[in-house]
């Protein structure tokens, strides 16, 4: 029987979710938004037959006989709507970031524990073949034991609007993608971080468009992150440009080109002779939010724990939160979840 969903939040990102929901045969029972007219408009636009618009989540839950909820609200609402849905017995898949603060995220994880429901955060950049290939290649030990990882992210983004005034704009609004990818690529978690944020000359942002973060990760891996939303010219990819170094070789991934790697093939010479790394095959996953939705649906039918399950995803959230704490205090800080 088709699963029934309540969509919470009828904003821009629903554009990325309506096709995957239809493709997976999910029935949209209700769309909830503080602005009921927005919910009505999206039901009409995406032809969610039989779906009812609501401006109150409680009523939608009571009336819709849904199996799960998709949280597409703004981050300041995630904690409230996710906890309410879990407490009503629904499993939830939601957009990143988990919440605005780590304390809220802790409450969401605790609510998932107390209710025994699944709460998964969709980190859409995990569902990119190249990213899964890098993770699989590292996991297969093809470049040895990982020692270091570096990510550069440089863009000149003139968004206008709230971001120009936002606190810690780069780390709070963008870096979760890169920090979560770092955890995916080398299967390691944050231990401590020293971060510096600054506002470059002639910045059109008020706070933190540039950030340099030095993470120590588990397995003694060092992860350096240099990012800017205020860098004109020679932009990197939105995914960032990466260099992952192991004891036997290196993988690079730059400007959305296929990842490449080299490994030492002989133990002689000043620079050791190198050969190309054959990258491991990526698991077959649909792209972006569709991949996340497939993993979620499989998990609620008894399949494996999905990527982005809240106990795991909170570690990516923590990288953001503690980077901000370090930038504010000027000190290296230990990460505790
Ligand atoms: N994966 C990605 O690459 C990606 C890209 C863009 C946005 N996002 C994420 O998607 C989420 C939504 O972003 P958006 O761009 O669609 O925002 P948006 O502002 O366009 O839409 C959010 C909607 O949620 C509604 N809303 C807010 N609080 C609510 C509540 N308590 N109950 C019901 N409705 C509520 C708002 O009225 C609004 O219509 C954010 O978490 C954002 O970070 C992810």
Q: Do 97 and 168 have their domain in common?
A: no
Q: What is the pLDDT of residue 290?
A: 98
Distance CA(9)–CA(33), nearest Å, equals 5
Task: Answer yes or no: is the C-beta of 41 below 6 A from any ligand 1 atom.
Answer: no
**Residue 280 predicted with pLDDT over 90:** yes
- 28-37: average pLDDT: 98
- Chain mean pLDDT for the chain: 97
Whether 330 is covered by a domain: the verdict is yes
Domain holding 202: CATH number?
3.30.360.10
What whole-number percentage of the chain has pLDDT above 70? 100
Ligand 1 center to residue 71 CA distance, Å?
8
Domain encompassing residue 237: 126-284+317-334
Which structure tokens are listed for 179? 């920090």
Residue positions counted in the chain = 337
Q: What is the pLDDT of residue 175?
A: 97
Q: What is the pLDDT of residue 281?
A: 92
Distance CA(55)–CA(337), nearest Å, equals 34
Q: What is the pLDDT of residue 283?
A: 85
**Residue 112 predicted with pLDDT over 90:** yes
**Which of 117, 142, 171 represents a domain boundary (last residue)?**
117
Ligand 1 center to residue 136 CA distance, Å?
32
Ligand 1 center to residue 77 CA distance, Å?
9
**Among the atoms of ligand 1, which is closest to the Cα of residue 289?**
1
Q: How many domains does the chain fold into?
A: 2
Whether 297 is covered by a domain: the verdict is no
Ligand 1 center to residue 75 CA distance, Å?
7
Task: Answer yes or no: is the C-beta of 294 below 6 A from any ligand 1 atom.
Answer: no
Which structure tokens are listed for 73? 């609200």
Which pLDDT tens digit goes with each residue over 144-158? 999 999 999 999 999
Ligand 1 center to residue 246 CA distance, Å?
39
Q: What is the pLDDT of residue 284?
A: 86
Whether 43 is covered by a domain: the verdict is yes
Buried b (16+ CB within 10 A) or exposed e, 278-315: ebbebeebeebbbbbbbbbbebbeeeeebbbbbebbbb
Which pLDDT tens digit goes with each residue over 235-256? 999 999 999 999 999 999 999 9
Task: Answer yes or no: is the C-beta of 11 below 6 A from any ligand 1 atom.
Answer: yes
- 102-131: average pLDDT: 97
Which pLDDT tens digit goes with each residue over 156-214? 999 999 899 999 999 999 999 999 999 999 999 999 999 999 999 999 999 999 999 99
Q: What is the pLDDT of residue 282?
A: 86
User: Partners of 120 in the beta sheet?
Assistant: 93, 309
Distance CA(201)–CA(194), nearest Å, equals 23
Residue 120 is inside which H or E element, if any? strand 119-122
Which pLDDT tens digit goes with each residue over 56-75? 999 999 999 999 999 999 99
């Amino acid at each position: 029987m088709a699963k029934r969903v309540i969509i919470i939040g009828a904003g821009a990102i629903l554009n990325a979710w309506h096709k995957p929901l239809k493709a997976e045969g999910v029935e949209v029972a209700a769309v909830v938004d503080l602005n009921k007219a927005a919910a009505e408009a999206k039901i009409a636009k995406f032809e969610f037959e039989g779906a009812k618009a609501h401006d109150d989540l409680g009523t939608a839950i009571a009336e819709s006989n849904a199996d799960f909820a998709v949280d597409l609200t703004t981050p300041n609402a995630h904690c409230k709507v996710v906890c309410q849905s879990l407490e009503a017995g629904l499993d939830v898949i939601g957009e990143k970031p988990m919440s605005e603060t780590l304390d809220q995220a802790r409450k969401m994880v605790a609510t998932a524990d107390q209710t025994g429901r699944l709460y998964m955060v969709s980190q859409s950049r995990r569902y990119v073949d190249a990213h899964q290939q890098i993770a699989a290649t590292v996991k297969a030990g093809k470049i040895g034991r990982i020692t270091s990882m570096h990510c550069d992210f440089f863009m000149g983004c003139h968004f206008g609007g709230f971001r120009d005034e936002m606190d810690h704009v780069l780390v709070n609004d963008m870096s979760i993608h890169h920090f979560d990818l770092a955890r995916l690529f080398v299967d390691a978690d944050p231990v401590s971080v020293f971060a510096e944020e600054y506002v470059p000359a002639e910045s059109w942002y008020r706070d933190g468009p540039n950030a340099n973060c030095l993470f120590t990760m588990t397995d003694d891996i060092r992860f350096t992150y240099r990012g800017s939303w205020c860098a004109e010219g020679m932009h990197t990819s939105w995914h960032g440009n990466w260099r992952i170094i192991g004891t036997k070789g290196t993988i690079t991934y730059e400007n959305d080109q296929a990842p490449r790697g080299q490994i030492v093939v002989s133990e002689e010479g000043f620079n050791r002779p190198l050969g190309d790394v054959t990258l491991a095959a990526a698991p077959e996953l649909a792209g972006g939010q569709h991949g996340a939705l497939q993993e979620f649906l499989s998990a609620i039918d008894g399949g494996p724990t999905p990527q982005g399950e809240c106990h795991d995803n909170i570690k990516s959230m923590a990288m953001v939160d503690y980077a901000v704490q370090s930038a504010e205090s000027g000190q290296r800080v230990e990460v505790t979840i």
